[in-house]
Amino acid sequence: MGDYGHELRFGIFVPPEAARGRELLRLVRLADEQGLEILAVQDHPYQPAFLDTWTLLSYLAGVTRNLTLMPAVANLPLRPPAVLSRAAASLDLLSGGRVELGLGAGAFWDAIDAMGGQRRPPGEALQALREAIAVIRALWNTEERPYLHGEIYTLRGAKPGPRPPHPIGIWLGVYGPRALAMTGELADGWLGGFAYAPPDSLAARMAAIDAGARAAGRVPALIRRAYVIEPAMPQAQLTEIALAHGISEFLLQVAPGDEWETQRFAAETAPAVRAAVAAARVA
């Protein structure tokens, strides 16, 4: 554990509130103009007060120029992985390579069940996540038609494509020991947040990811780490989290209308953390 030397990136994490769509649009444009790098949007398809996340990201791709766009995290039980694979590749093409894919095993099972999704116990949900990653990546590889015979998801020679213009990273929004080990084994990144993984729990969780990576013959430093933060977290704390736990992506949790917090984060906090981390690395 510790600092893996990754370039730091900063962004915002937002709920897609339908009633505040115009405010949300202004906020995202501000983040793009102020030099933030990531837009992560919650995905709760069963929530009628929310805009559909994938539709929103597709729209926002057309009104931004720099932001990386990411569902955080895509609700796998309600988004079949083969279709999600093509959706992500399509948006990556249309946005000029600005898409990353956050995935989760599922939560809020009553709401998922009410929408017609499959309710899964924890072990089965984790197996579904593992198989979904294989399905998604198989369809991004356009060399040959894939055949995958999983317990939950299968591919029977589906035509692959379209090929995304850049290697889309798969980030897992998971917290349990087995899921964190899977992150180290299979994922490009981990996406967590202070609400479920407070700062004092990060050491153990990062160690679990690293152990999973080493067990799979991977270098732990290959897995990037993103962390949703609350506005009250000071610059010194973010610097410590970056240096002690290898977190390199910081996502400020904001609501539509939180333009002041977003602008301050971009203009003050992000440069200060970058400078402090760079100074520590030199030292």
CB of 79 closer than 8 Å to CB of 52? no
pLDDT mean over 83-105: 97
**Residue 129, both tokens:** 């996540």
> pLDDT value at position 14?
98
Element (H, E) at 219: none
pLDDT band at 182 (very low <50, low <70, confident <90, very high): very high
Cα–Cα distance, 181 to 139 (Å, whole number) = 24
Please state the separation of Cα 205 from the chain's center in Å.
16
Q: What DSSP line would sit under 224-251, residue for residue?
A: EEEEEE-TTS-HHHHHHHHHHH---EEE
For residue 1, pLDDT beyond 90: no
> pLDDT value at position 168?
98
> pLDDT value at position 111?
97
Per residue in 24-64, pLDDT (tens digit) is 999 999 999 999 999 999 999 999 999 999 999 999 999 99
**What pTM did the predictor assign?**
0.97
pLDDT band at 88 (very low <50, low <70, confident <90, very high): very high
Q: What percent of the chain has pLDDT over 90?
A: 97
> pLDDT value at position 283?
87
pLDDT mean over 214-242: 97
Per residue in 15-30, pLDDT (tens digit) is 999 999 999 999 999 9
For residue 142, pLDDT beyond 90: no
> pLDDT value at position 143?
85
